Each structure stands twice: as structure tokens, then as C-alpha cells.
Amino acid sequence: MPELPEVETTRRGVSPFLLGQQIARIEVRQRGLRWPVPEALALLEGQVIEKVSRRAKYLVIETAMGSALVHLGMSGALRILTEVQAPGKHDHVDLVLAGGQVMRFTDPRRFGAWLYVPPGEQHQLLGKLGPEPLTEAFDGQRLFELSRKRQIPVKTFIMDNAVVVGVGNIYANEALFMAGIDPRRPAGNVSQERYLKLAEAIKAVLARAIEQGGTTLKDFTAADGKPGYFAQELKVYGRKGLPCPACGAELREVRIGGRSTVYCALCQR
């Protein structure tokens, strides 16, 4: 599933093609995505795209008549077409620009979304989200205060979008390793000092992943439109049984919340 760094890389990739351009039409070939694609998206036709932003894992394409809220789901991708190409089986939505370019949404599993947000309003999906992790609104003090008396594993805690958005499974593994915290430890048993360190680790891991995604694939007119991933720099995720990069001990794997969780029993406590 695309995580926050991949979604941010997607935003950066498509933005130059969209900003300041007029939407000629929005062609919806499959309305049965995660939620039904609303007819109201047609209100954006004829409008100029003023901003392309991101909130958590949602892309927001803003115009004076409202916004399109786009989620890539588990398998979705966006790419820019500069020449006419017949849509494939999984090409569900085209945002056609007046200049002839097309931003095409492809989603084999159909867990993605295209929704409409009226001007001046916030969609209910965004209403209860926590702060963005790379802003000053997120820090270790927030983690410490929200975690008191919480007995859920600290990994589950930092993956809660009400606490902080965008810390998906891959980056939770990596940040906890960087901070030296056992992912199984109850959230309420982590000290303030260690949460300060964890917040900085989350920021560092996500920032580096965004940087890597932005340099691995900048061409969103490529075949699949998917950004590069952070796999070449992962320290623990997906490395069960391999040596810990810090101490050499064998990395262990457990399931937390149904998700693969890899950690070092010596380095993380």
C-alpha cells in the first residue's frame, strides 16, 4: 500500500502538470471504487486547478468550485498522459486538461477513491486526523501526553491516524528501530525522553523516504506512474532472520495488529 512518502512523491510528480491548468472534463469509467464516485465531481469541469495539496494519504486537487479528494488505496497510481492512449481494464478515472494532457487513475483492486468536497468545506474523512508528522504540530511531547495509561503496543499507537498521520507499517518499524524502542512495549510505559527521540526518528525516516522517492522516479509520464520506494535503505522491515545492522544479532519478527513487525531484541527495549 502506498504510504505517506509515496503519496507525497506522487503529489510532487503530478503537480507541475496540473497547476494553473483548466479541467476540460472528468471521465469516470468505474464508479464502484472504495466509495461510489459522486456525480458532483462534474462541478470541477471548466475550473482552473489552483493547488494540489496532501493531507495524510489523500491528495486534494483544489479549484474555486471545490476540490477532488483522491486516495490511492492499496494498488492505485496516477500518471500523466501526453498522448492519447486507450484506457485499460483498471483505468477508472481520467482528469482531462484543456491542453490535452490527461491524469489517469489506475487501480486494479478498486480500494482507492475520488470524492468531491464543496468550496470552503472539509471532508469528514479528514476531520479527525492528527497532525502531519513533518510539521511543528507533531512532536514527542504530544506522543507522551496522548500515550499515558495506554496499554496498546507503541507501534500500534504511532500508527493511529488520530495521533499522527502517515506513519504506516514500514516506517513505524524503521522509526522504532532508530529510536531503540521495542515495538511490543505498551505505549504508556514509554518515557517522555524516549518519545522525544521517537518523534525525531519518525520525522527523519519519513523525510528521507520522501527524498528518496523524489529522486528515484521523477517522471510521472512513465508506464505506471508509481514513485520509487525506500526499500534500498530499510534497516529492519522485511529483514527477518538477517543480522541487525547495528549489533549483528538476528532480527526477529512478530505480528502486531496483524502486521509484520521486525525488530532487534538487543537494540530495542
184 carries a ligand binding annotation: no
Q: CB of 148 within 8 A of CB of 115? A: no
Q: Computed from CA positions of residues 100, 24, 19, 102, in that sequence, does the dihedral angle turn out positive or negative?
A: negative
H-state helical runs in 47-191 = 140-147, 154-158, 169-179
Among the listed residues 3, 6, 8, 174, the single catalytic one is 3
Backbone angles phi, psi at 48, to 5 degrees: -95, 135
109 carries a ligand binding annotation: yes
31 carries a ligand binding annotation: no
Among the listed residues 54, 57, 104, 226, the single catalytic one is 57
Distance separating alpha carbons of residues 141 and 179, to the nearest angstrom? 15
State the DSSP string of 26-81: EEES--BSSSBPPGGGGGGTTPBP-EEEEETTEEEEEETTEEEEEE-TTT-EEEEE
Based on the residue annotation, tell me whether 233 is a catalytic residue of this protein: no
Among the listed residues 2, 133, 153, 227, the single catalytic one is 2
Q: In what order do the strands lie in the sheet with 58-63?
A: 51-55, 58-63, 66-71, 113-117
Among the listed residues 34, 110, 185, 259, the single catalytic one is 259
Q: CA-CA distances (angstroms) from residue 201 to 75, 198, 215?
A: 27, 5, 21
AA identity, residue 3 = E
AA identity, residue 52 = V
Q: CB of 56 within 8 A of CB of 135? A: no
β-pairing verdict for 113-117 and 66-71: antiparallel
Q: Considering only CA atoms, which of 223, 222, 202, 268 is closest in space to residue 3? A: 202
Distance separating alpha carbons of residues 239 and 177, to the nearest angstrom? 12
Based on the residue annotation, tell me whether 149 is a catalytic residue of this protein: no
Residues taking part in catalysis: 2-3, 57, 259
Residues belonging to the binding site are 90, 109, 150
Annotated binding site for DNA: 90, 109, 150
